[in-house]
Amino acid sequence: MAVVGHSGPLQPFISLETICTSASSHVLPAEPTAQPPTMSFETTATIASFGGKLLKLAHQAKSTSCQMKLNLYLPPTATTSKPAPVLIYLAGLTCTGDNGAEKGFFQHMASKRGIAVVFPDTSPRGLDLKGEDESYDFGSGAGFYVDATTEPWKHGYRMYSYITDELPGALFKEFKELDGSRVSITGHSMGGHGALTLFLKNPGKYKSVSAFAPITNPVNCPWGQKAFGGYFGEENKSKWHEHDATELLKKFKGETDILIDVGTGDNFYKQGQLLPENFEKAAKEAGKGVKVRYQDGYDHSYFFISTFANDHVEHAAKHLGV
């Protein structure tokens, strides 16, 4: 049978689906697309400040079993080719990483000296532990920079490990503008206790330490006794002493150059919560370098901290080599 318009033999019918399938079976696999490195920190805000930038960050932390928020100030001179030394500021009771960053005025001198400043939170958040939110001086906002050993607090209340290990490890890995070999530490009240004890418990880890109105002898003040009794147990007094700056100073090997400011109008100083005289006495007996300045009329607030923030940045700068 002839086919009109067709001059050759009939060809077998091949469907469009067959052609597509056949063609695709001979296509070489595409080269895998390079994926950007996984970022452990989420930047929720970037704020210009004194020529540099203040980053508001969040990340998941294993030490505390929750998301942790913090602030990081990068001075204008910080680059990956010329990373900036770091000052860690530990805040006090009820505070977050925002208080020091927004009211402490550390950025002014940090910008001039080319120092980055890290402002961590003061405790885990939202763990839903019984008693976590019942008082201002224990639980949320009151981690005391220790690793709790009692139930239920040992499940997340591990701020010592977070500040000394996990947080700096993550920051220095992700932010190459930071020089992890040059780190100093400071803090206020509970954070002053944290700064002093972390420095004294980790010789060589921090280039310097200073503090604003620190809790220097927590085993002998109501704040410390409540916190240590809860986090370590009432019977575990040896553990209490391991996190007491006055007790640690007595045994510290090596030189110290510690700056402390305390306001004479500070009600917590008057109530015996801070006990700087005990720290001074221990320093004198041990022959350690400690300078406590009693600032006339100043209280416990961020008005006090912001007034003397420049001095504490300068103190760190001297030891950080800038």
Of the residues 189, 210, 244, 261, only one is catalytic, namely 189
Cα within 13 Å of Cα(53), Cβ side: 11
Report whether 190 contacts 218 (CB < 8 A).
no
Taking the C-alpha atoms of residue 259 and residue 4, their distance in angstroms, rounded to an integer, is: 104
Would the CA dihedral through 201, 96, 113, 189 be positive or negative? negative
Is there a cis peptide before residue 12, judged by omega within 30 degrees of 0?
Answer: no
Of 300, 294, 297, the C-alpha closest to 279 is 294
Residues 69 and 45 sit within 8 Å (Cβ to Cβ): no
Catalytic residue (one of 188, 193, 243, 300): 300
Alpha helices (H) in 87-158, listed in sequence order: 97-103, 107-113
Sheet order of strands, 178-187 included: 42-49, 52-61, 66-74, 116-119, 84-90, 178-187, 209-212, 258-263, 290-295
Q: Which of 147, 244, 261, 266 is catalytic?
A: 266
Whether 261 is catalytic is no
The verdict on whether 311 is a catalytic residue reads no
Q: What are phi and psi of 72, to 5 degrees?
A: -135, 120
179 as an active site residue: the answer is no
Compute CA distances 160 → 10, 124, 191, 195, 256, whole Å: 84, 12, 12, 10, 21
Residues 6 or more apart from 41 whose CB is under 8 A from it?
A: 57, 58, 59, 170, 171, 174
In contact, 140 and 125? CB cutoff 8 Å:
yes
Q: Catalytic positions, please?
A: 189, 266, 300
